[in-house]
Amino acid sequence: MSRRCVITVGDLGEFGVVARIARRLPQGESVLLGPGDDAAVVKAPDGRVVVTTDLLIEGRHFRRDWSSAYDVGRKAAAQNLSDIAAMGAIPTTLVVGLGMPADVPVEWVDGLADGFRDECALVGASVAGGDIAGSELVVIGVTALGDLAGHAPVTRSGARPGHVVAYAGRLGYAAAGLALLGAGIVPADGPLLEAVEAHRRPRPPYGQGPEAARLGATAMLDVSDGLLQDLGHVAEASGVGISLDPAAFPVGEPVAAAAKELGTDPLDWILTGGEDHALAAIYPPEVRLPPHWTVVGRVSDGANVKVSGRATGPGGWDHFRA
């Protein structure tokens, strides 16, 4: 009887795992000195560097029985690259910290690295290095760097009364997919599978971040925790109110199909669902927006975010909210 030998992370040791990952992640033009030394050296063409960091924790942000290692790598890269784009910048470099149990198969690590590689390839970014340590759960910490290419950063504090609210990308897809998985529904194909895949592997509209900066967006952010909650940050930072028109939001076929399957109002996912990493931006009313930007509301005097004139609660994800 043949026996299959499974090599685990613990068999390779820390250096062996880091070296294996490095071989699967080719370095791009932004990296002058990659893995192998105490620190990497990367370019900063603009003279300024946009920096963001985020965590993914097994059981909270992903489950290994719901998502492949490749999916997790794509997702971990995407949520950080999207934050760079939300500042109007071009993502250039990632640095990754990885904690994991010793019994994780090396093949899982390979899949994770491949996911990082392919997501970074969408924007021409590179993984410059990182660190690895033992952990009871898989924990992924990512720091992303970006280049403003001569533009001013687009912050959350520039919204003014009379401006319009628009978004690019998808809303409600990832929340619909998560709800399906939570209900024990693992579709094989069709719109329901597309919703589940959106939870596993988001598709941020990376190019629309720098585009928004060129068009004159006065505020912008990545929709990671739900549109209502995230626009609430814009309203607070800018000292304004925001009014949304629920009829202005298109309902994608996967979202509609999942809502029918689970007996849910799809607008709930669109307004409060996170992890699609759409970009929400505020524009002066005279800006002519390309068709991939959907206008869904206006900025006014006052405070907070309203839907159809009614005040809303936080309406999104919060790690510490009961």
Predicted local distance difference test score (pLDDT) of residue 314: 54
Query: 147-166 in b/e burial notation, b at 16+ Cβ within 10 A?
Result: bbeebeebbbebbeeebbbb
Cα 160 from Cα 46, distance rounded (Å): 28
Known binding-site residues equal 38, 52-54, 61, 83, 130-131, 156, 222, 224-225, 275, 317
Q: Please state the φ and ψ torsions of residue 106, each to the nearest 5 degrees.
A: -60, -30
CB count in 10 Å sphere of residue 23: 11
Q: Please state the φ and ψ torsions of residue 208, each to the nearest 5 degrees.
A: -75, -15
Query: What is the full per-residue pLDDT of the chain (322 aa) written as tens digits?
Result: 344 556 666 665 666 676 777 778 777 888 898 887 888 899 888 899 999 999 999 998 999 999 999 999 999 999 999 999 999 999 999 999 999 999 999 999 999 999 999 999 999 999 998 889 999 999 999 999 999 999 999 999 999 999 999 999 999 999 999 999 999 999 999 999 999 999 999 999 999 999 999 999 999 999 999 999 999 999 999 999 999 999 999 999 999 999 999 999 999 999 999 899 999 999 999 999 999 999 999 999 999 999 986 666 555 544 434 4
Cα 37 from Cα 174, distance rounded (Å): 38
Known binding-site residues for ATP equal 130-131, 156, 224
Predicted local distance difference test score (pLDDT) of residue 10: 67
Sign (positive or negative) of CA dihedral 177, 86, 230, 286: negative
CB count in 10 Å sphere of residue 140: 25
Known binding-site residues for substrate equal 61, 275, 317
Known binding-site residues for Mg(2+) equal 38, 52-54, 83, 131, 222, 225
Q: pTM for this one? A: 0.90
Cα 176 from Cα 268, distance rounded (Å): 10
Q: What angle do CA 267, 276, 87 make, to 5 degrees?
A: 120
Place of tokens 């720091």: 143
Predicted local distance difference test score (pLDDT) of residue 283: 98
Surface-to-core class of residue 5, CB atoms within 10 Å of its CB (0-12 exposed, 13-18 middle, 19+ buried)? exposed
User: Which domains are seen in the chain, by residue range?
Assistant: 9-147 (3.30.1330.10), 164-311 (3.90.650.10)
